[in-house]
Every structure is written in C-alpha cells, then in structure tokens.
Amino acid sequence: MKAQYRNGFTLIELMVVIAIIAVLISLLLPAVQAAREAARRSQCTNNLKQLGLAVHNYEQIWGGLPPSALVIRQPGGALWTSDYGPFARILPHIEQMAIANSFNMNAAYGDPGNMTATALTIQTFICPSEVRSDRENNGTFGVVGPTNYGFCLGDWFVFAGPDGGPLPRCAFGPNISRNWAAFTDGTSNTLLMSEVKNWQVNVRDCGKLSLINDPNNVPAPTADPATVAPEYQGTGCGVKVEGHCEWPEVAVHHIGMTTAWPPNKKTPGGPGFATPDVDLNSQRERIGGPTFAAITARSYHPAGVNALLGDGSVKFVKGTVNGWIWRGLGSVAGGEIISGDAF
C-alpha cells in the first residue's frame, strides 16, 4: 500500500504557528516602541542643547540673557509692550538667520510683514514626542507656530508690574536681562528651560488672586494643588486651550514654565474643565501684571521631562523629583544646596 504524505499544515498546527508569531510580536513591539521613544528623547535633548548654546551666544553678545518681555509705562500712563519674546531674539543663534533677517522686532504682533515668519514651525522648538504639534490659526494674528520648550520664568511669582517691585527669582523675566554673574547658585544648579506641551489648557487674566498675591509668600511646591483650586476657577478668568502654541509671544503660558509644581504634576481643572492638568496665569505680563503663574513642565516622555541647565547640560528630571529640589533649581541665587544626584 502506498504511503500517504501531507503537503501542508493541519489547522491546529497553523493556529500554533500564529500564536507563536503573536507572542513574538507582543514581546518585540514594546522593545521597538522603547527604542523609538529613546530616539525621540535623544532628539529632544539635542534641541535643548542647541537652545542652550543659543542663549549662551546671546548673553555673550548682549551682556545678558534675553528678556521674556519688555513692559514699559509711558509718560501718559499707557503701557508699551514688546510683542516678540526670547524665542524670536535667539533665532540668529540657532541657524535661523534667514528667518531672523525677515523679522521686524519693532513691528506689532500680527504685522503682515512678520506673518510668514511667525507661521513657521521651527523644528528646534518641537519635541518629536509631542502628539499635537499643529499650528494655531489665530483669527487676529494668523497662523502661528508652537513650541515644546519653556523658559524658566519663576516659581509662582513672575512679574510685579511695570512700576517696580521685587524681581522674580529665576533666570528669565520681563524687563530683566541677567548675566551669568547673577547665578550665584552656580549655572550647573540653575534651570534655564524645560519641556511643555502644545495646546495646553490655561486659565488666565483672573485679576488679583485671592490666595496667591504676595511674591514672598507663595504656595509650597509640595502643597496639595486642591488647596489653591479656587484660583483656577475664578469667575473673572478666561479659559483658553492654546497654551504654548505661539513661539513668538511674550506671555509665560506661551513661552515659559514655572516651578510652582514639579514636572507633570496634576493640577485642578479650570472653569468648565473638570479634567486636571490646567495651567494658571493670573494676569498676562503684557497688560501690566502682577503675574503669578503655575505653568507646569510637562512632556510625553515616560516618567519625566528634559531640563536645560545654565551650564548648557541637559538632564532628564523625573516627575517624582522633590518639589523643593525642583524649585531650588529654578532660582539663580536662592542659596539652595543641591547635589547632582538629587534630580
């Protein structure tokens, strides 16, 4: 009798092979995703290093760091405000001289002559892990490009106003241009910039806050955000969803971050927003302040954010960092003793 030979798999054998392949994919996919995220985080680190080099070049040429804004009281009492902030000022130092040359820093925000430049998405300003880097279409000022990096503009306290008062404790701020000599805590222990998310919900222009209005008495970074929830829910506040969507701007909620809370800290919802993760800007700098703000450093990297320090180095800071360490990094002359392994 002739032997019978099979030319294919049985259904059971086929199912076993498919199951094995599925298991292999399930094992390999996280590794592939982790490798991709590592590459994105590396590119993000390089972006911050370029921005750090640009800030150093600017300081060397101009004798101080770029101001976040210029807000000046004119003789008649009206305010004059610079319409373009530090990202616009450092353009020549990130190999964007063509954009810088086409940019009129003295023109009003939304000036037609600047709209081509302000509409650009500049890749050095974008973290590859950002999930929504589309541009804002501002009805008044046209299309504007976003940014994933914020200059450190304070803890809670950002700006006293154009008529004098205490200065913020951080590297950058309105009407100030610090040089490196002011960094008595050491440049390696001072935060210049960190990551932020595009399209960040923010509550702003609330007027004088009821609980946070003394520059020398602001909430601790370890406080429960629920204790200041009323500040996020004031009836006079405006709620916007386009935070960090305008790199040419001067407002802290567009081009800055603060150390009010540690990175990725969940914060109260604003009016009409039960979901947490809302930023707060009591009063925009351009309309005279005083400005108290909780603009939290956030990223889509697992577990933390990249942070640029004054010496040009970039560190990955975990979201579990002690709030006082994070706030200490934000001050230029606070006298905090911070070891390199504390963050």
| Residues above pLDDT 90, as percent of the chain | 61
36 within 8 A of 129, measured Cβ to Cβ = no
Cα 113 from Cα 288, distance rounded (Å): 27
Q: Which two tokens stand for residue 281?
A: 């800007």
Mean pLDDT for the stretch of residues 181-206 = 95
Q: Residue 203: name the closest of 258, 267, 118 by CA.
A: 267
What does the DSSP 8-state code read for residue 243? Answer: E
Band of residue 10 on the pLDDT scale cut at 50, 70, 90 = confident
Pairing relationship of beta strands 149-152 and 256-257 according to DSSP bridges: parallel
Rounded to whole angstroms, how far apart are CA atoms 99 and 188? 31
Interval 19-46: pLDDT, tens: 888 887 777 767 666 778 888 999 999 9
CA pair distance 132, 244, nearest whole angstrom: 11
User: Residues with Cβ < 8 Å from 298, sequence gap 6 or more?
Assistant: 195, 196, 197, 200, 263, 264, 277, 305
Mean pLDDT, the chain, integer: 89
| Model confidence band, residue 3 (pLDDT cutoffs 50, 70, 90) | low
pLDDT at 224 exceeding the cut of 80: yes
pLDDT of 274 > 90? The answer is no
Question: So what's the pLDDT on residue 342?
Answer: 80
Cα distance between residue 233 and residue 88, in whole Å:
33
Quick one: tokens of 94? 């990130």
Q: Is the pLDDT score of 271 beyond 70?
A: no
Q: Average the pLDDT over 268-293 and give the result.
A: 82
Name the least confident of 4-13, 50-59, 102-111, 201-210: 4-13
Query: Are 285 and 159 within 8 A, CB to CB?
Result: yes
**What sign results for the dihedral spanned by CA atoms 26, 31, 37, 43?**
negative
Give the C-alpha distances (Å, rounded to integers) separating 311 from 2, 172, 191, 223, 319.
Answer: 83, 15, 9, 30, 22
The answer to whether residues 48 and 316 touch, using CB atoms and an 8 Å cutoff, is no
CB–CB of 260/221 below 8 Å?
yes
Q: Using the predicted structure, report yes or no on whether residue 254 has a pLDDT greater than 80.
A: yes
Q: How far apart are CA 275 and CA 322, in angstroms?
A: 24
In this prediction the pTM is: 0.89
3-state SS assignment for residue 210: coil
The span from the CA of 100 to the CA of 93, in Å, is 9
Task: Please give the Cα distance from 192 to 207 (Å, whole number).
Answer: 28
Count Cβ atoms within 10 A of the Cβ of residue 61 and give its class: 0-12 exposed, 13-18 middle, 19 or more buried: exposed
Domains of the chain by residue range: 41-330
- In this predicted model, which residue has the larger pLDDT, 177 or 139? 177
Contacts of 229 (CB under 8 A, 6+ apart): 268
R_g (Cα) of the chain, nearest Å: 24
| Predicted local distance difference test score (pLDDT) of residue 288 | 92
pLDDT in tens, 143-161: 899 999 999 999 999 999 9
Collect all residues with Cβ–Cβ distance below 8 Å to 131 and sequence separation of at least 6.
Answer: 300
CA distances from 250 to 29, 30, 85, 117, 227 (A): 42, 40, 5, 16, 29
